[in-house]
Chain A
């Protein structure tokens, strides 16, 4: 197992270098740099002051030198400071000589996005698994068909449109849920119980809407997995032995059908992180997606690079965890019998 782990971790290194290369060179397709943001386009701004900026950030150096400088820093997890946001550190907090701590931008944004996505994933799974089982057991019957149709509609609906409709319906017309943001204005003055309630009510829409759109894939996966298992010999044997249908489904079939799900969840991470852009913009949530979008519009290179790298690394870690979980659940992998 340890050997397997080490191998998997080492395997991530060339991937990381590939990721950094791709993201770095894509960014240098970019016309324009930080000195072009809206604030700089002010009749009172001078070109010299912008040139000064460029030199300060090494934007005047050849691309390859810039890449080298950046790769060097990446090795120490130092993504530098943001161009646009008053020199905030991109990744992790720094402390200045007076002991003032400035939090890193990713440090602030990442937990929010992770929390929302993990909650969303839990909801997706807790809906998708039962739905998938029902669909498999009632294969081609009306239950299966209506689940499939419902899932497809969720999968096909433009997320921001659904969000706005629900915000209007639940937030304005009925006043049941807050419309945007993570906390109420008076959050600090609430007692603990009210704080929890406040947070939950703010999270309901941003968590549920992406889950609905993500439901289809996983439900289908569970359903197909179950169908596969139903037709394997040991299930037939189990049925033949007279085990109850309940037992067949929930102990034998489900266990085997859920195994590959681990991998699917691991693979869905980049999609979840990427998908956060639109949701976070609509719901005014200061997470990774919003941060990335702002940085792209501001040409804030260090932040873009930082997020691409950290986002991809998270994906790699997610895949690693999924593989490890898989290996743990399926002893054949551990022994190196089957892989791929």
Chain B
């Protein structure tokens, strides 16, 4: 019975090479259903994954994370560095056949900065003082002062069609569930709570993709998703370290059909101190904790070795990451000495150090993320070794944010930050960004860092900019407002019927060329219903 579910899958075929051919269907799954496919107002990752296949941006990052044109053929930065002029590629078309022009880009900019548009991404575009579309192929933006992250921001804005959205309310428009874009795919159907089906857009501005249909199934439970992957009902799924390095390798039948990919993750996990709370205002205490935490143990124990130690808040190996910085080593003696220096000593012999009669105890809070929870547990044990009593609480996301982060009512958090491709981290570290709801919720305030962040935003020369951010990372590491725990790898399983995937993954990750992936006809899923398959 087991084998008859997979009629034309000659397992040996998975390792054979096939010529590139178009056609076939790729099925993946998402935990949450997108709220809509207009990314600037939807915002959640489920929406990003799908709308990214439907809409184009002006610019994009290539395989090696250099910026290149997507809708734009070229761009020019004025000599005062305040104006960027984009030239669009010729003869761009929307999927409905209407021409795509700079008017559309201008419209999209107006839309995202419109005061009635509630977009979480507006702030970058609000810095644009003037935007123009002098002719149908040209779009230019002018900033008050040079803004280095500008190009990055234009690689994030999905361009929307003016002719379909003009005079519509962006928050209620039916377009969000029935979008028309210009990218490789277009939305065919969206069955609420079940799936979204995309098919190739024949008018794609970047030429046709290979795979005919992309189907995203909505499967809210992770374990159910994995069962579907095992049963060959979905083709790809993100994995946790245990599935990646223990479960799949232990099962020959899964190994036979699933290829595993590992790429440098897009985020890192950290332990952050509330710098307004004593004793975390004391750099010796922060450093002591940094030395007391065994990061390698976290990488081995939580990520099963599938992560790396970092010393700056950038993707390792990219130009922004300072190669000279080394993470704090695990050094219990140093930690103890620093605590002693800061006035902590175990005077009553209970194993917990005190200062002014008060034992050093605090609570680590984190959201419900298995890796973060586990990291916290390991940290708890290591801090106990140096006489610090730690409690842990894992809290559901919305109350985590509102109860603790916004109110500043926390001692220590274990959380993650995404590793953006632009080095600007003004909103996370600048001392002006510490209001409730802003991202410097640890209340970091270091004039040297503030100055570097401001400088970095103004500097467009990549080499000079790199130096600024190398310096920034160095100061940050020395000051230790957070402890870098690990940058975990992104782990994915993709069915071996899918060919054309770069392995090992390039810096941009395996998905960068998904339009070139293909599924040889011989390896495709049978197009018949599964009941009929079972009867054969």
Contacts and interface: CB of A to CB of B under 8 A. Distances in A.
Interface of A: 30-33, 35-47, 49-50, 52-53, 56, 81, 84-87, 96, 98, 100, 102-103, 108-109, 112, 164, 167-168, 171-176, 178-187, 189-190, 194, 197-198, 201, 281-287, 290, 294, 297-299
B58 to A, nearest CB: 17
B192 A103 contact: yes
A172 B41 contact: no
Interface stretch (B228-236, B295-303, B469-477): B228-236
A46 B118 contact: no
A175 B396 contact: no
A50 B437 contact: yes
B44 A284 contact: no
Interface residues of B, number: 72
Contacts of B397: 37-38, 297
Given A185-B215, A294-B32, 15 more contacts: A32-B399, A33-B402, A36-B401, A37-B398, A41-B401, A46-B122, A49-B119, A49-B120, A164-B227, A180-B219, A181-B217, A186-B528, A194-B531, A281-B220, A286-B218
A149 to B, nearest CB: 29
B437 A42 contact: no
A38 B415 CA distance: 13
Nearest to B191: A183
Contacts of B224: 164, 167, 179-180, 282-284
A86 B177 contact: yes
Given A33-B402, A175-B2, A286 B194 contact: yes
B171 interface: yes
A39 B46 CA distance: 10
Given A44-B121, A284-B221, A286-B194, A86 B529 contact: no
A56 B169 CA distance: 14
Contact of B118 (A53, A183, A201): A53
B530 interface: yes
20 contacts: A37-B398, A40-B120, A45-B120, A47-B438, A49-B118, A86-B36, A87-B171, A108-B193, A178-B233, A178-B530, A179-B228, A180-B224, A180-B228, A181-B194, A183-B191, A185-B215, A198-B530, A284-B218, A284-B220, A286-B194
Contact of B221 (A183, A190, A282): A282
A201 B531 contact: yes
Given A98-B174, A108-B192, A108-B193, A49 B122 contact: yes
Contacts of A281: 220-221
B32 A39 contact: no
Interface in B417-454: 417-418, 420, 425, 427-428, 435-439
A73 to B, nearest CB: 17
A39 B42 contact: yes
Contacts of B4: 175
Given A32-B399, A198-B529, A297-B398, A173 B193 contact: no
A38 B194 contact: no
Contact of A164 (B115, B223, B417, B531): B223
Nearest to B174: A100
Contacts of A190: 529
Given A84-B35, A284-B221, A290-B220, A43 B118 contact: no
Name the residue among B193, B194, B530 with the largest chain A CB count within 10 angstroms.
Answer: B193
Contacts of B122: 44, 46, 49
B417 to A, nearest CB: 8
B343 to A, nearest CB: 35
B174 A44 contact: no
B220 A167 contact: no
Contacts of B41: 86
Contacts of A164: 223-224, 227
A180 B174 CA distance: 29
Nearest to B435: A47
A183 B4 CA distance: 20
Given A40-B120, A86-B36, A171 B231 contact: yes
Contacts of B266: none
Contact of B193 (A98, A286, A299): A286
B318 interface: no
Given A44-B124, A194-B531, A284-B220, A36 B1 contact: no
